[in-house]
């Protein structure tokens, strides 16, 4: 994820990293080159009979802007809801650590329950990214349970089921008071609800017809635009087409960029950083130090 770091106005104006230009650069170049071809042919062979005037492009441009705005709003709603859900993961994980440390008897049991939550956070991140390997489980869970969790269809759900069983065993052994057990169960339920919300976002993208129609209309608009501008702006047609193509292609690409917030794209959520931050907080709650055993990848902090 690109962090909002202070920079100069010119630095922001000419930055490329994390912008839609990486996705749209080739499309814009193609649109400009096509406009150059149309402009040269227009003046060499007098193609004025093919002029479309600017009227249809003005009408379609307004409708297209509204349509792109709607799709981008839908994509941003998904992105922002995903961020709010992970904010709840952070808060509920800290609450879980506090509740375990203060309501559960036995240092070993406390450490086990808190580290299981660390394992759940990492497994949720990998699950949302459709990554089967969960290397962080090593050292957080017994080897046999780590293997079972990684082989499960939904690793975080199985992990919390096992955690619920651990709570029942601890309650039966008298390590958890009967009045405190519902408090811990409520936190587990909250976390599983957050998992369900994240899975809903991942499994329900913006309807495919919206995406296809947007891409097609933007492409057709930009490629036919020279025939509507040549009679008005003449040799400046490639420059004007390039500017308009930059605007529409970029708006189209931004919707694609933030539609799926759990991936590894520069503008996706920094799930590795969030997971590692949760692990640091929970280890500190146990008095195990402030450094996680696995460092945060540099690309997850900078991209």
Which pLDDT value is given to residue 115?
94
Place of tokens 């009227």: 55
Helix (H, G, I), strand (E, B) or coil at 19: coil
Mean of the pLDDT values across residues 8-33?
A: 82
Are 150 and 137 in contact by the 8 Å Cβ rule? The answer is: yes
Q: Is the pLDDT of residue 51 over 80?
A: no
Q: Is the pLDDT of residue 91 over 80?
A: yes
**Alpha helical stretches, state H, the chain:** 9-14, 21-45, 55-103, 107-128, 143-151, 155-172, 181-203, 208-233, 237-259, 271-286, 298-302
**Alpha helical stretches, state H, 104-142:** 107-128
Mean of the pLDDT values across residues 97-110?
A: 94
Least confident of 4-13, 134-143, 183-192, 262-271: 4-13
Whole-structure pTM value: 0.86
In order of 10, 18, 121, 198, 205, the CA distances from 296 in angstroms are 31, 19, 14, 22, 28
Sign of the CA dihedral running 15, 21, 22, 28:
negative
Mean of the pLDDT values across residues 270-289?
A: 91
> Within 10 Å of residue 167's Cβ, how many Cβ atoms?
20
Which pLDDT value is given to residue 89?
97
Which pLDDT value is given to residue 64?
87
Q: Which two tokens stand for residue 155?
A: 């690793």
Are 34 and 226 in contact by the 8 Å Cβ rule? The answer is: yes
pLDDT digits (tens, 9 = 90+) for 223-264: 999 888 887 888 898 999 999 999 999 999 988 888 899 988
Query: Between 61 and 17, whose confidence is greater?
Result: 61
Which pLDDT value is given to residue 2?
58
Which pLDDT value is given to residue 303?
35
Which pLDDT value is given to residue 183?
95
Q: Is the pLDDT of residue 180 over 90?
A: yes
Helix (H, G, I), strand (E, B) or coil at 138: strand
Which pLDDT value is given to residue 151?
92
Mean of the pLDDT values across residues 156-175?
A: 94
Are 109 and 292 in contact by the 8 Å Cβ rule? The answer is: no
Query: Between 98 and 296, whose confidence is greater?
Result: 98
Are 137 and 149 in contact by the 8 Å Cβ rule? The answer is: yes
Confidence of residue 298 (pLDDT cuts 50, 70, 90): very low
Which pLDDT value is given to residue 302?
37
Q: Is the pLDDT of residue 5 over 80?
A: no
pLDDT digits (tens, 9 = 90+) for 108-139: 999 999 999 999 999 999 999 999 889 999 88
């Amino acid at each position: 994820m690109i962090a909002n770091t202070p920079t100069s106005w010119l630095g922001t104006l000419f930055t490329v990293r994390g912008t839609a230009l990486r996705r749209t650069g080739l499309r814009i170049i193609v649109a400009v080159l096509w406009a150059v071809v149309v402009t040269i042919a227009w003046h060499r062979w007098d193609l004025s009979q093919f002029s479309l005037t600017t009227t249809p492009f003005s009408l379609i441009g307004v409708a297209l802007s509204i349509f792109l705005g709607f799709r981008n709003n839908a994509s941003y709603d998904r992105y922002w809801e995903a961020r709010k859900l992970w904010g709840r993961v952070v808060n509920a994980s800290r609450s879980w650590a506090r509740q375990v440390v203060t309501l559960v008897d036995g240092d070993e049991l406390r450490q086990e329950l808190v580290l299981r939550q660390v394992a759940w956070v990492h497994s949720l991140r990998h699950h949302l990214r459709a990554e089967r390997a969960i290397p962080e489980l090593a050292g957080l869970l017994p080897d046999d349970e780590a293997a079972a969790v990684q082989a499960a269809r939904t690793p975080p759900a199985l992990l919390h089921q096992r955690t619920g069983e651990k709570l029942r065993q601890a309650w039966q052994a008298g390590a958890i008071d009967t009045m405190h057990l519902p408090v811990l169960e409520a936190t587990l339920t909250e976390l599983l609800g957050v998992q369900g919300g994240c899975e809903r976002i991942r499994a329900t993208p913006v309807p495919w017809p919206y995406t296809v129609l947007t891409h097609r209309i933007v492409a057709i608009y930009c490629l036919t635009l020279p025939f509507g501008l040549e009679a008005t702006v003449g040799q400046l047609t490639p420059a004007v087409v390039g500017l308009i193509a930059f605007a529409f292609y970029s708006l189209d690409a931004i919707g694609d960029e933030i539609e799926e917030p759990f991936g590894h794209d520069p503008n996706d959520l920094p799930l590795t950083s969030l997971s590692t931050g949760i692990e640091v907080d929970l280890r500190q709650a146990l008095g195990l130090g402030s450094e996680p055993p696995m460092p945060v990848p540099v690309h997850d902090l900078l991209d």
